[in-house]
Amino acid sequence: MQNNTILITGGTGYIGSHTYVELLKHYPNNNIVIVDNLSNSKIDVIDAIKNITKKNDISFHNVDLLDKDALDNIFKLYQPYAVIHFAGLKSVSESISNPELYYKNNIVSTFTLLEIMKKYQCNNLIFSSSATVYGSGKSPLSEDSPIGIGITNPYGRTKYMLECILQDYCVANEKLNVIALRYFNPIGAHSSGLIGENPNDTPNNLMPYLLKVASTNNKQKSFGEKFDILNIFGNDYETNDGTCERDFIHVVDLAKAHVSALKSLTNLKHYQVFNVGTGESTSVLELVHTFEKVNKVNIPYKFQPRRVGDIAICFCNPGRTHSALRWKAGYTIENMCRDAWKYQTTHIK
């Protein structure tokens, strides 16, 4: 009889925590184990997950994937049949200033994971990839679009390199099944307001920064002078309003995509890759105005010069994901803005 354990690396992070909640709905009898070194998350996420799921016996291990012996012990204990691999550093700016950290952490830790998986004959992996692998590609981006061209930062290159590595591993090991999910721009939070995006350092992504600006300017909580105003980088792009357009996806929709991928692993053999997005683009300014309207708050902003490496428009063609994984995004931009603000106002004190 196959072991029913699913291992989630980076499981207390933003996407990992939401995926745990969705997995438990579909796999209530499975043992879902979280491994995380808490480098960009907090231990109280475990209590929040318990509150949402009403499950008090969550298996959590504070372990860094670079610690091979500790990871080996976890595999020895649980013998998982599948791994969902979220763990990895993800700040674009930090990767530019400290590329060694990103190449060592993101790539070497995955090598360690693959080595231990092979040792314990765990042959199913869902990998957290990113739309950054498309570099400067022209939207709408399909899975057949060129990758690895025009990637502007080490973070994106680690995702591209890892996709290449995983594909090579699947060629070398016919028993290994890998699904790489290329995320577009996850935002939002769980409808309970108990889990959401709360980076330990200064936010690098738009929504968590916007949330702190909204909070600071609407008498919820002040996060300091640097959050007095939202900086929008570039208003002279060839888009409808001059600001960048992105494919924003609700984090719960993204979590559900991992459940669909896990269910499809037995049918989709070897290496497979899928876009996870809505297939629609929303400008930065549209997102700001939607947030203001939905939540009845004021977001002061000012335009800054373009950032190096930003492209004007990035959105996906999710058709292959719809047909092969039987998954489709269901939440709107309004849902994303409302749920993100609920998390900010109820959880971030």
Strand pairing of 245-246 and 282-283?
Answer: antiparallel
Are residues 89 and 39 in contact, defined by beta-carbon separation less than 8 angstroms?
Answer: yes
Q: Which domain holds residue 128?
A: 5-188+248-279
pLDDT value at residue 226? 87
Order across the sheet with 177-183: list the strands: 59-61, 31-35, 5-9, 82-85, 124-130, 177-183, 271-276
Quick check: is 270 in a domain? Answer: yes
Are residues 121 and 80 in contact, defined by beta-carbon separation less than 8 angstroms?
Answer: no
> The domain that contains 54 carries what CATH number?
3.40.50.720
State which H helix or E strand residue 9 sits in.
strand 5-9
Quick check: is 175 in a domain? Answer: yes
Q: Which of 207, 206, 204 is nearest to 188 (CA)?
A: 207
Total structural domains in the chain? 1
In tens digits, what is the pLDDT along the chain, a chain of 349 residues?
A: 358 999 999 999 999 999 999 999 999 999 999 999 999 899 999 999 999 999 999 999 999 999 999 999 999 999 999 999 999 999 888 999 999 999 999 999 999 999 999 999 999 999 999 999 999 999 999 999 999 999 989 999 999 999 999 999 999 999 999 999 999 999 999 999 999 998 777 777 899 999 999 999 887 677 888 899 999 999 999 999 999 999 999 999 999 999 999 999 988 889 999 999 999 999 999 999 999 999 999 999 999 999 888 899 999 999 999 999 999 999 999 999 999 999 999 876 5
Quick check: is 213 in a domain? Answer: no
Quick check: is 320 in a domain? Answer: no
Quick check: is 61 in a domain? Answer: yes
Quick check: is 21 in a domain? Answer: yes
pLDDT value at residue 224? 80
Q: How far apart are the first and last CA of the chain?
A: 47
Quick check: is 121 in a domain? Answer: yes
pLDDT value at residue 1? 37
Quick check: is 80 in a domain? Answer: yes
> Which structure tokens are listed for 275?
């876009």
Q: What is the pTM (predicted TM-score) of this model?
A: 0.96
State which H helix or E strand residue 160 sits in.
helix 154-172
For 266, residues 6+ apart whose C-beta sits below 8 A from its C-beta are 177
C-alpha span between 323 and 346 (Å, rounded) = 37
> Catalytic residue positions?
155
